[in-house]
Amino acid sequence: MKTALEVSKKKTTNLFQPVRVYFEQEALNYPLGRQIYERVQKEGTEIKMVGSHNRVTGIPGDTPQMSYREAKRTLVVGVRRSKNFESCKPSAHYQLPLVTSCPGMCEYCYLNTTLGKKPYVRVYVNIEEILTRAREYINQRKPEITIFEGAATSDPVPVEYLSGALRRAIEFFGQQEYGRFRFVTKFTEVEGLLSLQHNGHTRFRFSINSDQVISRYERRTPPLKERIQAAGKVFKAGYPLGFIVAPIFVYDGWQQDYRKLFEELYCQLGKVQDLTFEFITHRFTRRAKANILSLFPQSDLPMEEQQRQFKFGQFGYGKFIYPKETLQEIESFMKSMVKEFFPQAKTEYFV
């Protein structure tokens, strides 16, 4: 069997190419840490050592925009020490912490708020320890099935050629009677994952949107056409497939655009037996809005508070969502699209 690095040698053009890589000293005690170190050293990438992957200093940038851009070009290789996994509703029981952040620069990304001003990309080299912990969670809940989400705080695909984390997780869950895995991506470098023994235990999902939303707001991510082609390969490889349509925006012509999206999916995939959809409408908090406008001062993301409904949350945290009638209109439209194009598919949730 080929290693993740061997698979990656075929094509590296669309992959994340960090301009600097920071290592925790302890990461070099793991074979994967040394493997990544040797690779980036050979490629002549700037290397630095850091005390902790949680406290990285020295990423350049005099303004919030520059710091953000530089952080998105920075890779940190560390050891994941936290023993507990976060819960992950509504898509799974637990997060599986394999990667943090992603090199994409989607304007609306919630990681822009949760990961601070420098959302550098992190990979963890102690994958076996993380999977051992996952096995303990599975054992605690069996005979119930326990589902783990591999993309709760990241898009893991762009760094897969370096970390091999998805590959290892998919094979691990392929062997678990009571454990299931799922992750979502906007990226298209899926070749190295197609021949794995997934045994139908990993749901491979793609995050998609209308062409207009992708070209306006999802910077440094592949276009819709390429994502749908990648989904076609994943489908042919026998994975349970899923799509997250998010964030859904209402704008002039939104229904035609989202209809076109379903038409393109149908053209590529035809009938799919095991298919799921998740729908998430656009929402924002005041904090997220301030962060987005400091990172993308020219952004035209629709964030007019008076056009939204305020939904109170726990601890005084609240968000601006579409008004109830608009949400109902979006939900009924999306459900009609699923019914028309993929009547056998399951809609997991609409929020």
Give the nearest distance from C-beta 149 to ligand SF4 in angstroms: 13
CA dihedral of 53, 73, 167, 269, whole degrees rounded to 10: 140
What number of H helices and E strands is found in the chain?
12, 16
Is the CB of 39 or the CB of 219 nearer to ligand SF4?
219
b/e code 325-344 from CB counts within 10 Å (16+ = b): eebeebbebbeebbeebbee
Is the CB of 70 or the CB of 171 nearer to ligand SF4?
70
**Token pair recorded at residue 343:** 């009547």
CB 204 within 8 A of CB 240: yes
Is the CB of 92 or the CB of 109 nearer to ligand SF4?
109
Amino acid letter for position 65: Q
Q: Which stretch binds ligand SF4 (CB under 6 A): 99-107, 224-232, 258-266, 312-320?
A: 99-107
Q: How many CB atoms lie within 10 A of CB 305?
A: 11
User: How far from 342 is each of 111, 138, 237, 262, 269, CA to CA, in Å?
Assistant: 31, 32, 19, 9, 10
In the region spanning residues 184 to 203, those forming contacts with ligand SF4, defined by CB under 6 A, are 186
Q: Which stretch binds ligand SF4 (CB under 6 A): 10-18, 106-114, 140-148, 262-270?
A: 106-114
Residue 280 in contact with ligand SF4, rule: CB under 6 A: no
Give the nearest distance from C-beta 24 to ligand SF4 in angstroms: 22
Give the nearest distance from C-beta 104 to ligand SF4 in angstroms: 3
DSSP-assigned states of every residue in 270-333: ---SSEEEEEEE--B-HHHHHHHHHH-TT------GGGSEEEE-GGG-EEEE--HHHHHHHHHH
Among 96, 102, 131, 147, binds ligand SF4 (CB under 6 A): 102
Residue 71 in contact with ligand SF4, rule: CB under 6 A: no
- Across the chain, the runs of DSSP E, i.e. the strands, are 20-24, 46-50, 74-78, 94-95, 99-100, 105-106, 121-124, 146-149, 179-185, 202-208, 218-219, 241-248, 275-281, 309-312, 318-321, 346-350
Helix%, strand%, coil% for the chain, nearest 5: 40, 25, 40
Beta partners for 99? 123
In the region spanning residues 199 to 238, those forming contacts with ligand SF4, defined by CB under 6 A, are 218, 221
Please tell me the count of residues contacting ligand SF4 according to CB under 6 A: 10
Is the CB of 138 or the CB of 245 nearer to ligand SF4?
245
Give the nearest distance from C-beta 16 to ligand SF4 in angstroms: 11
Give the nearest distance from C-beta 156 to ligand SF4 in angstroms: 9
Please report the sign of the dihedral spanned by the C-alpha atoms of residue 172, residue 227, residue 263, residue 323.
positive
Give the nearest distance from C-beta 91 to ligand SF4 in angstroms: 14
Among 111, 145, 321, 327, binds ligand SF4 (CB under 6 A): 111
Give the nearest distance from C-beta 331 to ligand SF4 in angstroms: 22
Q: What is the largest CA-CA distance in the chain?
A: 57
Q: Which stretch binds ligand SF4 (CB under 6 A): 29-37, 97-105, 208-216, 231-239?
A: 97-105
Amino acid letter for position 313: G
Is the CB of 157 or the CB of 275 nearer to ligand SF4?
157
Binding mask 114-153 for ligand SF4 (x = CB under 6 A): ----------------------------------------
Give the nearest distance from C-beta 108 to ligand SF4 in angstroms: 7
Is the CB of 131 or the CB of 159 nearer to ligand SF4?
159
Give the nearest distance from C-beta 328 to ligand SF4 in angstroms: 26
User: How far from 35 is each of 125, 129, 167, CA to CA, in Å?
Assistant: 10, 18, 16
Among 8, 21, 147, 155, binds ligand SF4 (CB under 6 A): 155
Residue 104 in contact with ligand SF4, rule: CB under 6 A: yes
* Residues lying near ligand SF4 in the complex (CB under 6 A): 102, 104-106, 109, 111, 155, 186, 218, 221
